[in-house]
Amino acid sequence: MWDYEGFLGKAKIYFQRGAEHEHSHDDEFAIWHLLGFEFLLRAPLAKIHPSLLAIPTDNDSLLAANGITVSRDPKSAPSTVVIDRLGKIVSGFAGGPALDAGFLMNLRNAELHTSHGAVSDVSNDLWLPKLVRVAKILCAHLDLDVSEVVGDDVVTLGETLIDQADKKVEHEVASKLKAARAFLNGLTPAEVEARASSIQPTSFLERLRINRDSAQVACPACKQGIYAPKTYVRSSRERLDGDSLVRDDIYLLTGLRCPVCGLELTGALELVAAGIPQQVVEESHESLEERYQVEPEYDGAEYMDE
């Protein structure tokens, strides 16, 4: 039911059916591609193990995914769960591509499960670049040529639209930077200093909260050190360094707002256009003693107790 080759084969068939229709003024072109996209979206999880596609709260579905016969038909995990799991498994998927995947699946659901003709309201310029961008990430993860999966003509069209969208974002970000610098030049040195001092935490608890929820970056407009909100994605495998266990915790920046110059950036594309890396890696250290020590007040059974 959740076979990798089956998902990949169906994705190719549906993409091919979509490519047989004209690129403009044809809802079927979009619908077939949205249907094929869902199969491609599920393929990386199926390749690891079918149980990753079982609905998390249903034991029979998990058993069926492991080859155990059950009395009921297994249930597939919803696309929100699939997207969340891909963000922890597929490099480069978390953040903007995950949001694009969510947009595409919401569009598909609105078209198939409501009375509204959702696809008719959304032009190729909006949905196709998102599909091609995510498909390229998924195919790279699977060591596949995206043109052979989605179709060469469609990928070429999608990449052209991606270039156009990226240039539009770059232009918008350049305008934001120009406006922020103009605002900064209108401030007195005392006003700049007062705004900069407001960034720093005033208490130990506030410092902990900021370090937990934010990462420090340099504002691309005024170069002040500011805090940008971050979202946890995943962690690397732990490695032993002397008597400590070390892991890399990976976060994504979701945007920023500078209290000094007023610059505001939203989403991955604007951050990248402004020269700010979207991914942040922070090392986490834990000593072996901290990991395995027994609390003094612990009075339960010890390991290997007879």
Phi-psi region of 71 (alpha: psi -120 to 50; beta: other; left: phi over 0): alpha
Confirm if 31 and 49 have CB atoms less than 8 A apart. Answer: no
Across 54-151, the runs of DSSP E, i.e. the strands, are: none
- List per-residue pLDDT tens for the chain, 306 residues long: 888 999 999 999 999 998 887 655 578 889 999 999 999 999 999 999 999 998 878 888 888 888 888 878 888 889 999 999 999 999 889 888 999 999 999 999 999 988 888 888 888 888 999 999 999 999 999 999 999 999 988 898 888 888 888 899 999 999 999 999 999 999 999 999 999 998 888 888 888 888 889 999 999 999 999 999 998 887 878 888 888 888 888 888 889 999 999 999 998 889 989 998 878 888 888 888 887 775 555 555 555 544
pTM over 0.85: no
Separation CA 144–CA 242 (nearest Å): 40
Of the candidates 157, 166, 163, which has an alpha carbon nearest to the alpha carbon of residue 33? 157
